Amino acid sequence: MYPVTTPAFRTRAERFDAKVLEALEPIEARWGPELADLDLAVDDVPSVDRTSPDEVVWGTGVLADVGVPLAHLVPAGVDSAGIPTRARIVLYRRPLEARARNGEDLADLVHEVLVEQVAEYLNIEPDAVDGG
């Protein structure tokens, strides 16, 4: 129904990806060289490694809100095949969307989560990442 070139044509996931890139832009402009070895990914929902009857147990580097992961900083390491991997921030689209009232609120939340995760990666305060 909509022309391919209009924003209305994009899927929900594509609109989210655009918000992520928009939120990353000022962070990358300020911290580009320090982030050269960091990747960024988006997953729809987090995977659950293990649970107990009382709680879900998340690994280290997970940024959660009321027990629901919003993002995960995965450190650089070595995969099961022995190949070195780069550090990466994984944002979880659906939990982030569920916490936002509208598109502007989602953009602010994505920016805030990225700032927190980049700060953790750089081992600095979040205010320093955002220039505050």
Q: Residues 6 or more apart from 25 whose CB is under 8 A from it?
A: none
Q: Would you call 127 helix, strand, or coil by DSSP?
A: helix
> Token pair of 98, please?
């569920």
3-state helix, strand, coil in the chain (%, to 5): 45, 25, 35
Kindly report, residue by residue over 91-125, the tens digit of the pLDDT. Answer: 999 999 999 999 899 999 999 999 999 999 999 99
Specify the pTM. 0.85
pLDDT along the chain (132 residues), means of 10: 63 93 95 95 84 69 86 93 95 95 93 96 94 68
